[in-house]
Chain A
Amino acid sequence: MKKTTEKQPARPVATSGVKVQRYFPGKAPDALEHDLSASESESDGGAKRMSASGSAAASAPQSVSIASAKQKRSEDGSIASESDEGFDSEVERVLQARLRARRRANEASSDSSDDGEDGNEQRITATQRATLSKQTHREPALSTSNKGSVASDSESVTTASSSEGSYSDSSDSESEHEAPLMLKPIFVPRSQRQAQPDMLKDSDNDQSSILTPEDVAVERERLARREESVRMAAAEAARAREAPEINASNILDLDDTDDVDIAAEFDAWQQRELLRVKREKDAREAIELEEAERERRNNMSEGEKYAEDMEKVRNQRRKRAQELESLR
């Protein structure tokens, strides 16, 4: 059983009277509706302030940036304080800023001519038309019936184009003053999407059968790799046959008996020993050379050292240049 309580009249609280922007899917961006209704009052209030800076704004119409809009807004203080619901408020702010800029331009133009009012109305109706067209066609776009969907698809496409056209109209007329209004993305089901790859694919069927040079190269490379692997496998097999690998099982296959051929073994040993002796001798000589060099440099003066280093570097460079020349 539900308790039915009488709805009490609202007690005055700090937050009462605040218009809360609630989001639900499918809602049109607030700013447009908002502006459409309250534009007059705003422009009146804003115009006076703007006229002071109007000349500056008119002179630099291009630079209607969000920063300047934000600054104005802070001056206004009317909107910014209340709504801070993230994306929606951002959109709202941007759109309002743009509309305000537009209005300012109108003011400036209206000072010079009388067409300001009419222009204003035209613009309003253009935007109104855009939003209305969007809203009306969103439902049909989401319907699942084929005919309806097809029709609506074409409709949405046409409306998109038409709205774009209207936008372009508006933007043409005042391209200097503001960027075109952005369309809210409408979800199009997969069945109704025009898949982009269709457009990219070539219409003629012969394309797939023609082998490009890249294809040929790829094929050739693949064949080459296959051959290489076959060759390697063959080499492995041959090696295994000739010199079977010694592991724990056939450790004794590798013969380590000594004194099979004493002379040969002795010679081999002698060779090894000679190499070792030579190695030691070379190491000792290298160290002695290093020592001598160090001694010599120690006894030279700074100037002599410098001269010698320069000479060395010069020789090196000359040699390298010669090498490069010979290579070329």
Chain B
Amino acid sequence: MLIGWFDRVVLHTAARSLEVFPSVIAVDQKGLRTTNMKHYEVEILDAKTKEKLCFLDKVEPNATIGEIKSMFHRTHPQWYPARQSIRLDPKGKSLKDEDVLQHLPVGTTATFYFRDLGAQISWVTVFLTEYTGPLVIYLLFYFRVPFIYAPKYDFTTSKHWVVHLACMCHSFHYVKRLLETLFVHRFSHGTMPLRNIFKNCTYYWGFAAWMAYYINHPLYTPPIYGEQQIRLALILFLFCQIGNFSIHIALRNLRPPGSKTRKIPYPTKNPFTWIFLLVSCPNYTYELGSWLGFTLMTQCLPVAFFTLVGFIQMTVWAKGKHRSYLKEFRDYPPLRSPILPFVL
């Protein structure tokens, strides 16, 4: 007899009173009222085949999409939540993990459509991999590891001091990026499609090898205007590296840890952030400046190509970011351009 006769009386009475008086207040684990709460039924269909994949009953109205994804994952273990796209319409936009069931335009039987986003990989992993490559690869060329240049040059060093400077700048740039990935950036999305890592690494590693080959080549020709050109280039490079870092810190401080809030970035006390007055994505502006500096420093056509391709990609991203700022915030400062003040 684990419970005494008195407890059984109490329990029995309580149970009966719930039947007779259903308005007795009941509360769930979150401390939210669950009395008289209509539980939802959720069915999840495949967006393409409309096949019924999952049926969940007794889902609480305050359940989030994230929780529903976890439940779906339990019935289909191969689809972990990060690779689920849940939407109201087969061709519609993905719902956010934070969306609450009862605030969505659905009846008590909610129908969602599922699309498999494919294998996912975390942003942090991708960034670390794609940035470590150039760091290491450039050094292989700098130290003239065998099988790259003619054997008589193996493990020799360049006689031009700009080549040593370039190596320091390139390495500094990627170390900075790695540290920022680990300690500064706050990512909106946890993951991206797995195939991106192959695409991204090919880009970064390929270009790094191509640039490094020529800069560290035994037949490398230093800049035409010599020390003047290199000094100017170095100043530009360092200025933009500090600028880029300042923007990353400013953006980090907009967002409390672990959150995904989005706010309009504004200039801070740091003069390097005053560029926010004119530009939506100054991190890209400074990045362009850094690589222009590096191009000027090395006077190397492949570096110019890399700068150009990077600029095109960053412009696409900046325009997209600018557009979403304008859509989300009605009071967005009108003077700002996406990436280049007044121009682009």
Pairing of A with B: no
